[in-house]
Amino acid sequence: MLAAIAVALVASPAVADVPAPPTRLAVGLDTLWVLLAAFLVFFMQAGFGMVEAGFIRAKNTCNILTKNFVDYCSASIMFFLVGYAFMFGRGNGLIGWTGFALEGAENPSTVPLWAFWLFQAAFCGAAATIVAGGMAGRMKFHAYLMYTVVISAVVYPIVGHWVWGGGWLAGMGFGDFAGSTVVHATGGSAALIGMIVLGPRIGKYVNGKTRAIPGHNIPLASLGVFILWFGWFGFNPGSTLGMARDGGTCASLVAMNTTLSAAAGAITAMLTIWIIGGKPDLSMTMNGCLAGLVAITAPCAFIAPWAALTIGAVAGALVVGGALLLDRLRIDDPVGAVPVHGLNGIWGTLAVGIFAKAKYIRAADYDFREGLVYSGSFHQLGIQALGAGAVALFVLTAMGLVFLAIKGTVGLRVSRAEELRGLDISEHGMESYAGFQIFVTE
């Protein structure tokens, strides 16, 4: 009789308070969640495209949109052929090397390899495309093609291996739930070194003064921010990679924290620029929103809601300060890629070491130490700083060498005449807005 009860309990573990059983329904539920998340992360590519296009001038719009398409297409193909193997393959602490073209590939998830790949490939595409905006308006298109193949095939997968593929940072207990470091600090660092090597756009810094070059289509950019926020609901909550284990509790916390941080980032950025510049600038408000999203990406599963509000609020102020600092340094970042993704990718990563709380860490199925405010210890903060720093340094170096190699061979920058005329005509032979009367400025 007791045996029968035991059998019944073992045979239907879905009822018992243990992890859901590996049945087809549980797998189906997890797969549906991961596929939905992958679709949403894919859709972020549209958001990046609209933000980047809207924030630059009309004459370079087709160019940046083409880069956006090619980024995702390259990420899909290269991450299928080699990137996944470098990131999740068996290997050492630095890189994996099994599972090329997914043949015999490792699958660390509970869902079909193909679904897991799709989700990861969309992340790779996001990392690649962050750079497009930062180098807008002056880079040769075929130089860009080289860049995007390298970052999606090699550089991003290596960083991913360190953190999510069982590499050396994973082994140290580095915590990055959905990629503040893996995706955003990587993309932001690549953008930073790219814009340094490339130099500023003609007319941006004249006689020691910074001239604003306003975006040509703010409604489009604002649509892009909404699409990115929408897609981030795949990026962050989807990084639970399942629903069956805990009935979606972790994913729900992540979704709420993501929203609170984005909202706080938008509000503080608006207030900051209002105080500094005298007007509630929409571009800065939108970048504050994105900054809040980037910053919450690493800690979203590990923290309480009040911490999410705090992290977002800091991110909104940081993005304004970062943008002003870059102009002070004469580094021309047309869309704010570095303050949004680089600076706040690092801030979000550090925030794990400050605000992470044991009960949330365990509930997210992670295992590392509590942050400073709960433990009083700098231990986890140190690991977070080490991880973010190592990734930034690696990407700056690797991509710096790539950009210098391109510069020394096929060339990185278009001619002055081409830049003045706009890359749409000179590189693609087409206009973005045929029939419209548009004043082309430098």
Footprint on residues 267-286 left by a copy of itself (CB under 8 A): 267, 270, 277-283, 285-286
C-beta of residue 87 within 8 angstroms of C-beta of residue 120:
yes
Q: Which of 51, 115, 151, 320 binds a copy of itself (CB under 8 A)?
A: 115
Nearest Cα to 390, choosing from 187, 177, 168, 124? 168
Least Cβ distance, residue 78 to a copy of itself (angstroms) = 10
Alpha carbon distance 123, 118 (integer Å): 9
Name the minimum Å distance from CB 50 to a copy of itself: 6
Instruction: Kindly tell me which residue out of 100, 168, 366, 433 binds a copy of itself, with binding defined by CB under 8 A.
Output: 433
Which of 94, 97, 108, 249 is close enough to bind a copy of itself by CB under 8 A?
249
240 interacts with a copy of itself by CB under 8 A: no
Site map 307..346 versus a copy of itself, x via CB under 8 A: --x-------------------------------------
Residues 12-51 contacting a copy of itself, CB under 8 A:
12-17, 19-21, 23-29, 31-33, 35-36, 38-40, 42-43, 45-46, 49-50
Contacts (Cβ under 8 Å, ≥6 apart) of 435: none
Which residues 203-222 are close enough to bind a copy of itself by CB under 8 A?
214-220, 222
Task: Report if residue 109 touches a copy of itself, rule: CB under 8 A.
Answer: no
Options 92, 97, 114, 410; binder of a copy of itself; rule CB under 8 A? 114
Distances (CA, A) of 267 to 197, 299, 315, 316, 362: 34, 20, 10, 7, 31
Determine, following the binding rule CB under 8 A, whether residue 9 of this chain makes contact with a copy of itself.
Answer: yes
How many other CB atoms sit within 10 Å of the CB of residue 116?
A: 24
For 392, the token pair is: 């930034």
417 binds a copy of itself (CB under 8 A): no
Nearer Cβ to a copy of itself, position 229 or 355?
A: 229
Q: Which of 48, 142, 60 is nearest to 418 (CA)?
A: 60
How is 8-54 classified by DSSP, letter by letter?
HHHH-TTTTTSPPPS-HHHHHHHHHHHHHHHHHHHHHHHHHHHHHHH
Q: For residue 422, state whether it binds a copy of itself (rule: CB under 8 A).
A: no
Of the two residues 233 and 368, which places its CB atom closer to a copy of itself in the complex? Answer: 233
| One residue of 51, 60, 74, 195 binding a copy of itself per CB under 8 A | 74
Contacts of 4 (CB under 8 A, 6+ apart): none
Alpha-carbon gap, residue 15 to 19, rounded angstroms: 10
Q: How many CA atoms lie within 13 A of 1 on its CB side?
A: 0
Neighbours of 205 (CB within 10 A): 16
Using the rule CB under 8 A, which residue among 192, 251, 343, 388 binds a copy of itself?
A: 251
SS3 139: strand
**Residue 301 sits in the site that holds a copy of itself (CB under 8 A):** no
- 306 vs 378, beta carbon nearer a copy of itself: 306
Residue 76 Cβ vs a copy of itself, minimum distance, rounded to whole Å = 4
Which one, 53 or 185, has the nearer CB to a copy of itself?
53
Query: According to the binding rule CB under 8 A, does residue 118 interact with a copy of itself?
Result: yes
Q: Is 107 in the site for a copy of itself (CB under 8 A)?
A: no
Q: Does 87 bind a copy of itself (CB under 8 A)?
A: no
Of 76, 153, 178, 135, which is closest to residue 338 (Cα–Cα)?
A: 135
Rg of the chain in Å (alpha carbons): 22
Token pair recorded at residue 172: 């140290």
Q: Which stretch binds a copy of itself (CB under 8 A): 244-252, 380-388, 391-399, 400-408?
A: 244-252
Kindly give, in sequence order, each residue whose CB lies less than 8 Å from that of residue 271, ignoring residues fewer than 6 positions away: 280, 316
430 binds a copy of itself (CB under 8 A): yes
Nearer to a copy of itself, 61 or 239 (CB): 61
Query: Is the distance from CB of 137 to CB of 57 less than 8 angstroms?
Result: yes
Residue 338 identity: V
Per DSSP, the three-state class of 351 is helix
CB 157 within 8 A of CB 364: no
Kindly tell me which residue out of 248, 365, 369, 386 binds a copy of itself, with binding defined by CB under 8 A.
248
Nearer to a copy of itself, 196 or 218 (CB): 218
